[in-house]
Amino acid sequence: MTTILIVDDLLSDRRIASGLLKEGGSFDVVFAENGRIALEQIDLHMPDLVLTDLQMPEMDGLELVKQVRSKYPMMPTILMTAAGSEIISRQAIESGAASYVPKQHLAAELLTTVQRVIASAGEEQLQARLVGRLSQSTWIIENDPALVSGLVAHIRKLLQTKRLCEESDLLRVSTAVDEAVLNALY
């Protein structure tokens, strides 16, 4: 199950965000009142995503985003704030946030934004795991079927980029590699 850390100094806002997420998906939710406590919660629970308010005591949301990005580069963050503007949105992205949701649009946008970011992060994490197993053009994927689709997508990109295969043959080659690797695993 996906775990989300909600960081906000207002209990009511933490509850609203939690309710929206639980209503629309199957998420475990962990809470923190500020950025300092959030970093402690990350160490304890290793959430899949951090959803943080901008204005908080002790450590604001932008600083938390920077800290998370520095310590946990594969952990996505989403910034939310009542004081929404293009400037804050740009600052959030520049600080390393994956996305930004104004609190006045939380009900309409939070769930889809979280789902989109988690899906994107999952694909990036899969690619990172796969690239980490690349050893002299050899992938060592143990017996992990979850890596097969990432491997096939990576090989397809390599073939496409290096023009080693006609476009019309890419689907057939991808399917053949997928079946061969899955057969080897099973």
Q: Dump pLDDT digits (tens) for 129-184.
A: 666 666 666 778 888 888 888 888 888 887 776 677 777 788 888 888 888 888 88
DSSP state of 137: T
pLDDT score at 30: 96
Residues 6+ apart with CB under 8 A from 118: 2, 48, 49, 76
Using alpha carbons, select from 96, 94, 91, 90 the residue that is nearest to residue 77.
96
Question: Which pLDDT band holds residue 20 (cuts at 50, 70, 90)?
Answer: very high
| Range name among 21-35, 83-97, 124-138, 167-181 with the lowest pLDDT average | 124-138
Letter string b/e over residues 152-170, b meaning 16 or more CB atoms within 10 A of that residue's CB: bbbbbeebeeeeebeeeeb
* For the chain, the helix, strand and coil percentages under 3-state DSSP, each to the nearest 5: 60, 15, 25
pLDDT(75) > 70: yes
pLDDT score at 36: 95
| Range name among 33-42, 48-57, 107-116, 166-175 with the lowest pLDDT average | 166-175
Rounded to a whole number of angstroms, the CA Rg of the chain reads: 20
Q: How far apart are the first and last CA of the chain?
A: 26
pLDDT(123) > 80: no
User: Rounded to 5 degrees, what are φ and ψ at 117?
Assistant: -65, -40
pLDDT score at 79: 92
Contacts 24+ apart (CB under 8 A), 95-99: 95/62, 95/65, 95/66, 95/69, 96/65, 96/66, 96/68, 96/69, 97/65
Residues 6+ apart with CB under 8 A from 176: none
Q: What is the pLDDT of residues 57-70, one digit of tens each?
A: 989 899 999 999 99
Tokens representing residue 119 in the block: 């899906």
pLDDT score at 136: 61
Q: What's the rounded mean pLDDT across residues 54-58? A: 90
